Amino acid sequence: MQILCTNLFEEQLKNILQKFAQEDLSATKNFKVYLDTVIINIPTKAQKYKKSIYFDDENIKDLEHQGFIIPFYIDQANDNYLILGIVEK
């Protein structure tokens, strides 16, 4: 399975990281590294995540990470996980 990201996710993450970097660059790097690790592990843990509160679709789940919610879509037909966005909880 591949993990893909939408342009919306990339833009939202960029904005979040820019805000964090203004406060603490080291913490920003740690946040990004840990986030990448969590995202990479989605295929092995996808079933533990709850159905998304933002979408009425059983194939869209919410991953929570340090005060943020990251909805992702499980595309079984194409064997992909699609990261839809990232919003503050």
Specify the number of domains making up the chain.
1
Rounded distance between C-alpha atoms, residue 55 and residue 82, angstroms: 14
Helical packing angle, 25-40 and 7-23, nearest 10° = 150
Could you tell me the CATH number of the domain that includes residue 31?
Answer: 3.30.2310.20
Q: What is the residue range of 80's domain? A: 2-88
Round to whole Å and give the CA distance between 1 and 21. Answer: 32
pLDDT at 1: 83
Residue 16 burial (CB count, 10 A): 18
Per-residue pLDDT of the chain (89 residues; tens, 9 = 90+): 899 999 999 999 999 999 988 989 888 999 999 999 999 999 999 889 999 999 999 999 999 999 999 999 999 999 999 999 999 98
| First-to-final CA distance of the chain | 28
